[in-house]
Amino acid sequence: MRTLDDLDVKGRRVLVRADLNVPLDGETITDDGRIRASVPTIKALLDGGAKVVVCAHLGRPKGQVNPKYSLKPVARRLGELLGQDVAFAADVVGDSARSTVESLQDGQVALLENLRYEPGEESKDDAARGAFAEQLAGLAELYVGDGFGAVHRKHASVYDVPKLLPHAAGGLIVAEVEVLKKLTEDLERPYVVVLGGAKVSDKLGVIANLLTKVDRLLIGGGMAYTFLKAQGHEVGGSLLQEDQLDQVRGFLEEAAKRGVELVLPVDVLAATTFAADAEHEAVEATAIPADREGLDIGPRTRELFAAKLADARTVFWNGPMGVFEFDAFSGGTRAVAEALIAADAFTVVGGGDSAAAVRKLELPEDGFSHISTGGGASLEYLEGKTLPGLAALEE
Ligand code: 3PG
Ligand code: MG
């Protein structure tokens, strides 16, 4: 993969595909982790005398202009972090984008409006995607792929534009791939993976593949209830994916056959309703009352998971253990994060909600070997899939 060192950027217009998909509360950015992670590459290009045109998506506006998903607040924050103005184009490839890009001087930067306002960006039709990619590529002379969180998407800005312009991988993608390689080649054992999050259906591929690689797999979060149910326990009103029960039974059998320790919650915090102030108590995972729903792993499970992480040499963690957005149900996620910090291991937090949780719970980011910016992208890499955005950069 070519890197920034292989590009001569001085005086050239460089299109950077970044992942600036940050959570917003109105116009307030609630976690700027992805913006901060994007700064070094943009800064390196600016220092190299490039005219930098950043493009990115925010949320899922599905091909339509929708002010709720505007990147405008991101442009402001990016400017603060760079310590210089970021010109903001009010469209993606229209008049505003063209004139904004044309007025850039060497060492100046612009951000285009949300790529996903354009139906071509995500189109499944190669021709439609290609046509939009041509317009986007027309804004620049060189392309730098640095939006790690989106490399698993076969989208115009990720997959098609690098076919049209001389290209290289930015520093963030290089760093993320290096970490993922360490998780897949010559890793130190015990290798323990912790998975959480709401839906087991999002993680079928990665679980199947991890069962051939890991020593232990700890399962918490909403997806744990489908495992408990598959073992024959009632889960009350907890999250449950009935249609995944057969699949999950298969995983339980496969783990047993392979000697992989698959560790499930032994107790959960069962609440009367899904709310921050819901009445709740710790109950056995095998005896969740019918009128309650599990919103976090319980205290005995926190200890159990910490013990299973204590001697690990390599850890990958993706997905919260409970509804960490509610303080009362953030303890399980905190306990797992603290166990990673305590372990004498190469520890990777796999993007998305788990990375947001680390910051929301104000845990020290340097307590982990790496906090990824890409949830879905990390999972698909560990699943062994070819990621379109990485493949395009390698060509
Ligand atoms: C993410 O948030 O996972 C990435 O930015 C990709 O976004 P997407 O899941 O909407 O494609
Ligand atoms: Mg995601």
Instruction: Work out the number of other CB atoms within 10 angstroms of the CB of residue 235.
Output: 22
- Ligand 1 pocket test: pick from 20, 34, 57 the residue with the most ligand atoms within 8 Å of its Cβ: 57
**Mean pLDDT over residues 175-192, rounded?**
95
Q: Which band of pLDDT confidence, cut at 50, 70 and 90, is reported for residue 364? A: very high
Interval between CA 261 and ligand 2 midpoint (Å): 27
Q: What is the pLDDT of residue 295?
A: 98
Catalytic member of 77, 98, 199, 359:
199
Which ligand 1 atom sits closest to the C-alpha of 57? 5
Q: Which band of pLDDT confidence, cut at 50, 70 and 90, is reported for residue 186? A: confident
- Ligand 1 pocket test: pick from 19, 30, 71 the residue with the most ligand atoms within 8 Å of its Cβ: 19
Catalytic member of 13, 17, 34, 129:
34
Bridging pattern class, strands 142-145 and 167-169: parallel
**Mean pLDDT over residues 170-178, rounded?**
98
Q: What is the pLDDT of residue 353?
A: 87
157 lines ligand 1 (CB under 6 A): no
Q: What is the pLDDT of residues 117-159, one digit of tens each?
A: 999 999 999 999 999 999 999 999 999 999 999 999 999 999 9
60 lines ligand 1 (CB under 6 A): yes
21 lines ligand 1 (CB under 6 A): yes
149 lines ligand 1 (CB under 6 A): yes
Query: Is-catalytic flag, 34?
Result: yes
Q: What is the pLDDT of residue 98?
A: 98
Share of the chain above pLDDT 70, in %: 100
Contact 93, 36 (CB under 8 A): no
pLDDT for 227 beyond 90: yes
Query: Is-catalytic flag, 350?
Result: no
pLDDT for 28 beyond 90: yes
Q: What is the pLDDT of residue 351?
A: 78
Q: Which band of pLDDT confidence, cut at 50, 70 and 90, is reported for residue 296? A: very high
Q: Residue 286 to residues 226, 294, 322: CA-CA distances in angstroms?
A: 12, 11, 17
Query: Is-catalytic flag, 258?
Result: no
Interval between CA 94 and ligand 2 midpoint (Å): 28
Ligand with an atom nearest the CA of residue 33: 1
**Mean pLDDT over residues 86-97, rounded?**
98
Residues 6+ apart with CB under 8 A from 148: 19, 172, 173, 176, 372, 373, 374, 377
> How high is the mean pLDDT of the chain?
97
Q: What is the pLDDT of residues 298-357, one digit of tens each?
A: 999 999 999 999 999 999 999 999 999 999 999 999 999 999 999 999 999 997 889 989
What whole-number distance in Å separates Cα of residue 281 and Cα of residue 293? Answer: 10
Q: What is the pLDDT of residues 16-26, one digit of tens each?
A: 999 999 999 99
Q: What share of the chain is helix, strand, coil (3-state, %, to 5)?
A: 45, 15, 40
Ligand with an atom nearest the CA of residue 122: 1
Q: What is the pLDDT of residues 234-249, one digit of tens each?
A: 999 999 999 999 999 9
Q: What is the pLDDT of residue 352?
A: 82
Which ligand 1 atom sits closest to the C-alpha of 147? 5
Query: Is-catalytic flag, 199?
Result: yes
80-11-98 Cα angle (round to 5): 70
